[in-house]
A = this chain, B = another copy of it.
Amino acid sequence: MSFATTPEPPYYAVIFASTLTGEDLAGYAKTAARMLELAQQQDGYLGEDSAREDIGITVSYWRDLAAIKAWKQQLDHAQAREQGREKWYCGYSLRIAKVGHAYSWER
């Protein structure tokens, strides 16, 4: 497993944390996979890292705020969010942050 590889900062991060109701997990997984596929096709998408344990965290990286806004307004994505609030999510938090410094290390 490897990490998102991103260009030199500055760029932007969308930090999304969520808890699931447990309802319709198959539908959730299918939609999540489809959303990743669609995000990857968006202009300005740079990559993402994701993990779920008690909570799920997805951090996606974007060239600029305009690219984040365009993804927010993408129609299938907006519909998926709506479904998420209806059945999949207990709750979520979303933060938009400007990455100013990045460092990575590998063995």
| Interface SS majority for chain A | strand
Given known A-B contacts A49-B57, A51-B54, A54-B51, A97 and B13 have beta carbons under 8 A apart: yes
Q: How far is the CB of A46 from chain B (nearest CB, A)?
A: 12
Stretch at the interface among A26-34, A36-44, A98-106: A98-106
A104 CB contact (under 8 Å) in B12, B52, B93, B101: B93
Residues of B within 8 A of A56 (CB): 51
Q: Which residues of A41-70 have CB atoms within 8 Å of chain B's CB atoms? A: 49-57, 59
Which residues of B sit under 8 angstroms from A13, Cβ to Cβ?
A: 13, 15, 95, 97
Contact between chains at B49 and A51 (CB < 8 Å): no
In the assembled complex, 6 residue pairs joining A and B whose CB atoms fall closer than 8 Å, in A order, are A13-B15, A49-B93, A59-B59, A92-B104, A96-B100, A96-B101
In contact, B100 and A97 (Cβ under 8 angstroms): yes
Given contacts A3-B92, A13-B97, A49-B93, 18 further A-B contacts (CB under 8 A): A1-B54, A1-B55, A2-B91, A3-B17, A9-B95, A13-B13, A15-B59, A17-B49, A21-B107, A51-B57, A89-B107, A91-B104, A91-B106, A92-B104, A93-B102, A95-B101, A96-B99, A97-B98
